[in-house]
Amino acid sequence: MSLLVDNIGELVTNDPAPGDGPLGLVPEAAVVLEAREVVWVGPADAAPAADQRIDAGGGAVLPGFVDSHSHLVFAGDRAAEFAARMAGERYDGGGILTTVAATRAADDEALRATAVRLRAEALRQGTTTIEIKSGYGLTVADEARSLKIAFEVSPESTFLGAHLVPPEYAGRADDYVALVCGEMLAAAEPYARWVDVFCERGAFDADQSRAVLAAGMARGLGARVHANQLSAGPGVRLAVELGAASADHCAHLGEADIEALAGSSTVATLVPGAEFSTRSPYPDARRLLDAGATVALATDCNPGTSYTSSMSLCVALAVREMRMTPAEAVWAATAGGARALRREDVGTLRPGARADLVVLSAPSYVHLAYRPGVPLVRQVIHNGVVA
């Protein structure tokens, strides 16, 4: 069964071959999907016939968003903590333990229901690929069940047992790291594609972070790092040193960090929802881009620092607050996210790519930043199926 999407006012392919610029723009375009794949892309007047047709109504079409950083397995919410911050309190990561306590107390069904609900919420807003981390369990059993749930919801699942030292290990961080690298990793690994660590003062230092990432990599997991979120620490350089797919947050970067990222295949994943919700300075994406680093945008959806599943919001914030152009931001939210997950099959619309696309009720991708807060995603096709 083939599906023709036509009457596309502006098509973002992220493939320079058929179109214009890095977004590979094709005006007055059509796309044909078959068996979960894109099979044809080009000008509408040259489109082949197909079994079914969707009329994009002159709207823009882009690849589905690739959200490469989220924490959807948790219980409870922290609206009061958010309100306190907006009244002047500082974020220091301590609230993570509030969610750890709530998550440990929740049964599997409650955790699964929240993750499934948030995944569906993201899909409605155009996110067709999403990475999901554990990290609110912090015991062997709670991390294993968190990962199992994450993996049920998305194949891009990440073991974040090293999110924070839990209270029962207070003053014994190295013992906790040994648990993470040993029994906890062994229990989580069957459900994980990635290993992550919160490399930050008050969480895990460079040596502890290196040990966690190396243990995960030795078991075949890819590395990603919560790096330089709250201070200019060693996280980014460690991520580059280990060949991590992504260094995430990157809010406090020195010249050496930027140079390291620019000379590497490690993607700088920026999560402006976190700066928004913690009222912190935004990272300067312009410096990273001008240096030649690859930048991705992600939501960091979690109940503490960024309780949004909206990639459109991230695009708008990146343009307004991080000196990205609308084209750079849309690329970062699609192809950039795919790079951060080392995926070739998503984030672009070219023959052979997965049939994931978003139809906007707007004539151009620029409207994602130009009309902030407006639900412009009119239709989502995920894996060839209208979602």
Please report, as ranges, the residues that interact with Fe ion according to CB under 5 A: 300
Which residue number, 222 or 304, has a Cβ lying nearer to ligand NIG?
304
Going residue by residue from 228 to 267, which x/- string records binding to ligand NIG, judged by CB under 6 A? -x--------------------------------------
Name the residue with tokens 């509030």.
98
Q: Closest CB to Fe ion among 300 and 356?
A: 300
Break the chain down into helix, strand, coil percent, rounded to 5: 40, 25, 40
- Position of minimal CB gap to Fe ion: 300
Which entry of ligand NIG, Fe ion, none binds 274, CB below 5 to 8 A by partner kind? ligand NIG
| DSSP run (H or E) holding 286 | helix 285-291
Residue 93 region, left (φ>0) first, then alpha (ψ -120 to 50), else beta? left
Q: Tell me which of ligand NIG, Fe ion, none is bound by residue 95, counting a contact when its beta carbon lies within the kind-specific cut-off of 5 to 8 angstroms.
A: ligand NIG
CB of 203 to ligand NIG, least distance (A): 7
CA distances 107 to 62, 137, 149, 189, 199, Å, are 38, 12, 12, 21, 29
Query: Measured from the CB atom, is 300 or 328 closer to Fe ion?
Result: 300
Out of 161, 233, 283, 304, the residue judged to bind ligand NIG by CB under 6 A = 304
Number of residues binding to ligand NIG, judged by CB under 6 A: 13
Closest CA to 136 of 198, 89, 193, 81: 198
Q: Can you state the angle between helices 140-153 and 96-105, rounded to 10 degrees?
A: 90
Near ligand NIG by CB under 6 A: residue from 95, 216, 273, 336: 95
**What is the Cα gyration radius of the chain?**
20
Cα-flanking dihedrals φ and ψ of residue 357, to 5°?
A: -150, 165
- Selected binder of ligand NIG within 300, 353, 379, 381 (CB under 6 A): 300
Whether 243 contacts 268, CB under 8 Å = no
Binding segment for ligand NIG (CB under 6 A), chosen from 51-59, 89-97, 329-337, 357-365, is 89-97
| Contact call for residue 308 and ligand NIG (CB under 6 A) | no
Does position 226 interact with ligand NIG (CB under 6 A)? The reply is yes
Q: Which is nearer to ligand NIG, 95 or 126 (CB)?
A: 95
Q: Are 198 and 223 in contact (CB under 8 A)?
A: no
Residue 269 in the binding site for ligand NIG (CB under 6 A): no
Closest CB to ligand NIG belongs to which residue? 304
Out of ligand NIG, Fe ion, none, which partner does residue 222 contact, by CB within 5 to 8 A per kind?
none
Q: What's the CA angle centered on 74, arms 73 and 76, to 5 degrees? A: 155
Site string for ligand NIG, 173-212 (x = CB under 6 A): -------------------------x--------------
C-alpha span between 73 and 114 (Å, rounded)? 7
Beta strand 295-297 with 357-360: parallel, antiparallel or unpaired? unpaired
CA distance 239 to 12: 31
Residues 265 and 276: their CA atoms lie apart, in Å, by 27
Q: Between 197 and 349, whose beta carbon lies closer to ligand NIG?
A: 197
Which residue has 């059993």 as its token pair? Answer: 141
> Least distance (Å) from Fe ion to the CB of residue 271?
7
| Least distance (Å) between residue 162 CB and Fe ion | 12
Applying CB under 6 A, the residues found at the interface with ligand NIG are 93, 95-96, 99, 198, 226, 229, 274, 300, 302-305
